[in-house]
Amino acid sequence: MNRVAIVSLSVCLLLGCSQDEGASLTDPDVYRVDIRWTDYGIPHIDAADWASLGYGLAYATAQDAICVLAEEIVTVRGERARYFGAHSDGIDNIANDVFQRAIIDQDVVAHHRAGAPPEVAAMNRGYRDGYNRWLEDHGHHLPARCAGEPWVRPMTDEDVTRMGIWVGIRYGLGRAAEPIVNAEPAAASRAEPASAGAVVFLGDMPDHAELGSNAYAIGSELTANERGLLLGNPHYPWRGSSRFHMKHLRIPGELDVMGVGLYTTNAVAIGFTRHVAWTHTVSTALRFTLYRLELDPDDSTRYRHGEDIRNMTSRDVEVPVLSPDGELLPERRTIWFSHHGPVLASSELPWSSEHAFALRDVNLRNNRAGEQYLRFWRARSVEDMRDALQAVQGVSWTNTVAADRRGGALYADITVVPNVDRTLIEDCGVTLDNAGPWSRAVTLDGSRPECAWREAPDAAQAGILPPEELPYLITQRYVSNSNDSHWLSSPKAPLEGYSPIIGDERAQRSLRTRAGLVFLEEVLYEDRRFTPEIVQDILFEHRNFGASLLLDDLLELCKDLDGTPARACEVLAGWDRRHALDSRGAHVWTEFWRHAGRMENPWVVGFDPADPVATPAGLRVQDVEVRAGLTDALTRAVETLDEAEIALDAPLGEIQYVMRNGEKIGIPGGEGWAGAFSMIVTRLQPGEGYTPVTHGNSYIQVVTWDDSGAPDARAILTYSQSEEPDSPHYADQTRLYSEGKWLRLPFTDAQIEQARTLRQVTLEAPRR
């Protein structure tokens, strides 16, 4: 590339060019990218082409997350036990390594690489080289957590692919890693199950899962500016590879998108453009089914399928394990497979001489995520978003909620779901006794060929539901989702008639779902139109809907109490029914509802599908059994807090917090299952309080468009850009979140130029 071209390209990168101008300056042999970090460490990445964009994105991400990325590479390579021993951070490293090597084999890797469109494939190559460039530039001065560690190594093409696959299956097939790895055939001479792995996933309620979210999309009929308005509020982990990272990606004339992606993905997965804004919430749809296998009584590795008896296949995997004395010792496991998928075993799903269980997961063969987000970035309306979802079906396990600058609002659970309809469940479903955490799973009869997933010619993948059988709604009013099913995304237009594998219908909603809907309706009842400020306040008021609904009834009961439960009553009577930093009594309510929420039918008015937002309601405090249960819950709340040495009247900000380099930062928000809409999940530590935060409010964005059509985006990344204590962006946004503040995201050229530039680098390098 000559000097004139380089200078011209620099101007293009900084000021923007037409597509033709940008294309004319692209050099297929050179990476060229400019990165500007504005306040709070937000990188704006201007690239000449898709490969250069990946190069700059990896470089900018490694700046904040090199240790997390390096550890994730070790994870997907199946090498955790080599470097961290048999167990670390609560992870069975041997199970992880065997699972990664046995399940994500070379065929799966090749399949996923084949699904990447040219732009994404180029971006992946650049991402690999940009990460390795960062290591070359900064590997001598890594954050303390991974400085000098042998597991910080260069990235390969396969690493990039494997990280993408792992994100797709992590919360389905991936969370059954231990039951799969530890499954052993039952001996023919015994009926009892073989040794079993622990079941580590599948909570019955979304609020008890590791991931969740709130989302609103509000259309032109209800907004002050008659444009779309979006709230995105994902509830994701505050540490590790599922943390979000803010970024702004630009290619002149081709791409201009801002938002976040997970540390280990090279995409903006939640964000906005000049035309649309979108977010995701974890869907209730199941991504797998279990199959119960009918075994040969003489050989528990053989199973019946129709008139045939089939042999299971097996794969032996050996992994090195670091012993306490530093020696690498080999550990060998055998993984068993049916044609349905890998065999697993647990105390609830034993591998006996009669039956075993296999798991089939749709996302292991879903290689379309890259194409899906590429189409999101190019969408110009919520109709385009819907069309992209239906054409690609590449979203793994989340609803999509979107708004556009023309005033449209979209809810869609158009995802990758097994093609299992109500009839198939009724004809082939197997009822399991004592299923425990597997109770929500659909279990089918694996001995009958007719119980296979249905095939649909217009589905994007064999064995998944076709797009016309997946729910969505486009409106100019509003849609909402807080991890309940599709049914009540808009109470005035309920979505019904879909397969039960997607989620329930005409069933009770969670307190958090009802909170989100009630808070919207309150604004409409006051005859106000929505603005960004109103939506921001809905979340940052940190109100507890459960308390608004039920505390007055409880206080009636309190008039007759004394002793231990009366102590809780005294504090709750003065509580402002919020989870703000100065709220006194929020934690008492949380501990009370931890027990009271499990009571069977404490309601004055039971659930009514004709009035699902307002019901159930009221506590039957005159009923003897209900009174006793509520009194016991108050007593247990006080005892829990006394044992933990936590004052009942302590301000929430003093007892719910994170520590950042010796600084105590109070964190507002509460548990969703206890009625909070603004969700923060913590651990109660005796003598310390509710700390650390495990997950909850993470990247929060409120997006609309101004009179000129430019994005008006306010956001906060609650835990800040970096997990590393030696980073300048370890706690800066966390302080803002604690104070109830937001960032105005610089998106246009003028806004970026007006923002304070913390650092700027231009990268140029030959391509491999």
Query: How far apart (Å, rounded) are the C-alpha atoms in residues 556 and 575?
Result: 15
The pLDDT of residue 210: 57
- Characterize 534-545 residue by residue with b for buried, 16 or more Cβ atoms within 10 angstroms of its Cβ, and e for exposed: bbbebbbebbbb
pLDDT over 60 (residue 4): no
Backbone angles phi, psi at 180, to 5 degrees: -75, -45
Across 70-84, average pLDDT? 98
- Residue 495: which of 209, 676, 284, 221 has the closest Cα? 284
Which class is 3-179+757-766 in CATH? mainly alpha
**∠ at Cα 741 (739, 743), nearest 5°?**
145
User: Residue 347 in 3-state DSSP?
Assistant: coil
pLDDT digits (tens, 9 = 90+) for 661-672: 999 999 999 999
Residues with active-site annotation: 213
pLDDT bin (cut points 50, 70, 90) of residue 329 is very high
Identify the architecture of domain 539-696 in CATH: Orthogonal Bundle (1.10)
The pLDDT of residue 427: 98
Residues 6 or more apart in contact with residue 189 via CB below 8 angstroms: none
Q: Which two tokens stand for residue 382?
A: 């919520």
pLDDT bin (cut points 50, 70, 90) of residue 199 is very low
Query: How far apart (Å, rounded) are the C-alpha atoms in residues 755 and 250?
Result: 17
The pLDDT of residue 13: 38
Across 427-451, average pLDDT? 94
pLDDT digits (tens, 9 = 90+) for 122-153: 999 999 999 999 999 999 999 999 999 999 99
CATH 1.10.439.10 positions along the chain are: 3-179+757-766
CB 486 within 8 A of CB 502: yes
pLDDT digits (tens, 9 = 90+) for 633-664: 999 999 999 999 999 999 999 999 999 999 99
Return the percentage of the chain with pLDDT > 70, whole number.
Answer: 93
- Characterize 133-159 residue by residue with b for buried, 16 or more Cβ atoms within 10 angstroms of its Cβ, and e for exposed: bbbeeeeeebbeebeeeebbbebebbb
pLDDT over 90 (residue 15): no
pLDDT over 70 (residue 205): no
Q: Which DSSP category does 187 fall into? A: P
The pLDDT of residue 26: 61
Q: What share of the chain is helix, strand, coil (3-state, %, to 5)?
A: 35, 25, 40
Residue scoring higher pLDDT (229 or 768): 229
Query: Between the CA of residue 566 and those of 546, 595, 651, what are the distances in Å?
Result: 20, 17, 19
Gyration radius from the chain CA atoms: 26
pLDDT over 50 (residue 749): yes
The pLDDT of residue 624: 97
Query: How far apart (Å, rounded) are the C-alpha atoms in residues 616 and 612?
Result: 8
pLDDT over 70 (residue 48): yes
How does the average pLDDT of the chain come out, rounded?
93
Residue scoring higher pLDDT (60 or 14): 60
pLDDT over 80 (residue 593): yes
Distance from the Cα of residue 13 to its chain's centroid = 33
Distance from the Cα of residue 70 to its chain's centroid = 21
CB 192 within 8 A of CB 359: no
The pLDDT of residue 172: 86
CB 335: neighbour CB atoms within 10 A? Answer: 21
CB 648 within 8 A of CB 567: yes
Q: Decide: residue 383, CB within 10 A, 0-12 exposed, 13-18 middle, 19+ buried.
A: middle
Strand 42-47 relative to strand 244-251: parallel, antiparallel, unpaired? parallel
Q: Supply the DSSP string of 227-278, one letter for each residue.
A: S-EEEEEEEEESSSTT-EEEEEEEETTTEEEEEEEETT-SS--EEE-SSEEE
CB 314: neighbour CB atoms within 10 A? Answer: 13
CB 259 within 8 A of CB 278: no
Across 156-163, average pLDDT? 98
pLDDT bin (cut points 50, 70, 90) of residue 490 is very high
pLDDT over 90 (residue 14): no
Across 425-440, average pLDDT? 92
CA distance between the termini of the chain: 16
Query: How far apart (Å, rounded) are the C-alpha atoms in residues 584 and 648?
Result: 8
Return the percentage of the chain with pLDDT > 90, whole number.
Answer: 91
Query: Between the CA of residue 766 and those of 31, 32, 61, 515, 558, what are the distances in Å?
Result: 6, 9, 20, 54, 73
pLDDT digits (tens, 9 = 90+) for 359-376: 999 999 999 999 999 999
**∠ at Cα 246 (40, 72), nearest 5°?**
115
Query: How far apart (Å, rounded) are the C-alpha atoms in residues 708 and 481?
Result: 29
The pLDDT of residue 529: 98
Q: Supply the DSSP string of 699-763, one letter for each residue.
A: EEEEEEE-TTS-EEEEEEETT-S---TTSTTSSHHHHHHHTT--EE---SHHHHHHSPEEEEEEE
Query: How far apart (Å, rounded) are the C-alpha atoms in residues 311 and 627?
Result: 58
pLDDT over 80 (residue 516): yes
pLDDT bin (cut points 50, 70, 90) of residue 768 is confident
User: Residue 201 in 3-state DSSP?
Assistant: coil
CB 413 within 8 A of CB 392: no
CATH 1.10.1400.10 positions along the chain are: 539-696
pLDDT bin (cut points 50, 70, 90) of residue 196 is very low
Query: How far apart (Å, rounded) are the C-alpha atoms in residues 504 and 161?
Result: 34
Query: How far apart (Å, rounded) are the C-alpha atoms in residues 36 and 255?
Result: 17
Across 589-617, average pLDDT? 98
pLDDT digits (tens, 9 = 90+) for 82-93: 999 999 999 999
The pLDDT of residue 192: 43
pLDDT bin (cut points 50, 70, 90) of residue 175 is confident
Which parts of 543-656 are beta strand (E)?
Answer: 603-605, 617-619
CB 481 within 8 A of CB 494: no
pLDDT over 60 (residue 23): no
